[in-house]
Amino acid sequence: MNAAANPLALRTSGLVRYFGGLKATNDVSFDIAPGELRAIIGPNGAGKTTLINLLTGELSAHEGRIFIGSNDVTAQPIQQRVGLGLLRSYQITSVFDAFTVYENVCLAARRKQGLGFAVWKPLTGYRDIADKALRVIQDCHLGDVAHVTADNLAYGQRRQLEIAMALAADPRILLLDEPMAGMSSAEGAAAVEMLRSLKGKYTILLVEHDMNAVFALADRISVLVYGSIVATGTVEEIRNHPEVRRAYLGDDEDA
């Protein structure tokens, strides 16, 4: 993680995505500077995960454009965007259950080399991959369970593995979809510390419901309501924004 490549800017203009008659993403434009940590908050169903899926290419945008650095990737498939360093974590843990933590992370760490037809040497026998994987595993506090299969991990550890896999894949932009969802408060605090250590190394788009975490970590916050960005600003500005208080903070998130 020390030798991270330079973070890249992530920009969209006028993104629109329909699901049938529903406009799930409505004219979303934002500009995340290289190395910025941008939080996106919004009530359930505001279209946060849809937005991430549009950015990664798992969903195609019906209107608007997406730029990674100076590249227009709107029409490009997932592979190309990943190739530029756009990596994500999933809200619903999406790891390889039958593999150990170590194997999961190694698989992610192999991303840049690609596969070719490497069929002889064991994946974990590649020195550079093994080193990188072990470093990320330590950073994500998974050292004790490195050789446990993913389906035998505790919930919080699975969430941690989810982030570890995104980190091991040499990201330049990280899209984190509710990384702390379902974590205990102790696990959440550890995760906040870990994310704080990532700040500046990557451009990070963080979707999160835990307001304390968001206010502690974000450089800027965008508020998404019914698919539209209704406000963007610093932590202080968002905390005091009247429309945000009405639409979101007072409404959905009194917990």
Partner 1 sequence: MFRVKSVIWIAALFFVLACIPFVAHALDEPFYVTFFARVLVYALAACALNVVLGLAGLVSFGHAMFIGLGCYTVGILSYYGIDNGWIQLLVCIAACVVVGVLVGTVCLRTSGIGFIMITLAFSQMLYFLMISLTEFGGDDGLNIYAPSDFGFFQLDGSSEVYWAAWALLLALAVFLLRFRVSPFGMVLRATHINPRRVDAFGYSVFGVQLASYVMSGVITGIAGFLLANLTAFASPSYIAWHVSGELIVMVVIGGIGAVTGPIVGALAFLVMEDVLKGWTSHWMLIMGPIIVLIALLGRNQFAWLKACLKRPAPSAGPARPIASSSVAGESL
Which residues here bind partner 1, judged by CB under 8 A? 56, 58, 78-79, 82-83, 87-88, 90, 94-99, 103, 106-108, 110-111, 113-126, 141, 144-145, 147-148, 152-154, 156-157, 160, 165, 169, 186-187, 190
* CB of 55 vs partner 1, minimal distance in Å: 12
Number of helices followed by number of strands (H, E) in the chain: 9, 10
Cα 173 to Cα 25: distance, rounded to the nearest angstrom: 21
Q: Torsion angle of alpha carbons 167, 170, 172, 175, nearest 10°?
A: -30
DSSP 169-223: T--SEEEEESTTTT--HHHHHHHHHHHHHHBTTBEEEEE-S-HHHHHHH-SEEEE
* CB of 186 vs partner 1, minimal distance in Å: 6
Cα 35 to Cα 32: distance, rounded to the nearest angstrom: 8
- For tokens 């009530």, the residue is 43
Nearer to partner 1, 20 or 120 (CB): 120
Nearer to partner 1, 51 or 231 (CB): 51
Nearer to partner 1, 26 or 53 (CB): 53
* CB of 18 vs partner 1, minimal distance in Å: 22
Nearer to partner 1, 36 or 170 (CB): 170
* CB of 24 vs partner 1, minimal distance in Å: 19
Q: Which of 155, 189, 196 is nearest to 145 (CA)?
A: 155
* CB of 182 vs partner 1, minimal distance in Å: 13
Nearer to partner 1, 61 or 166 (CB): 166
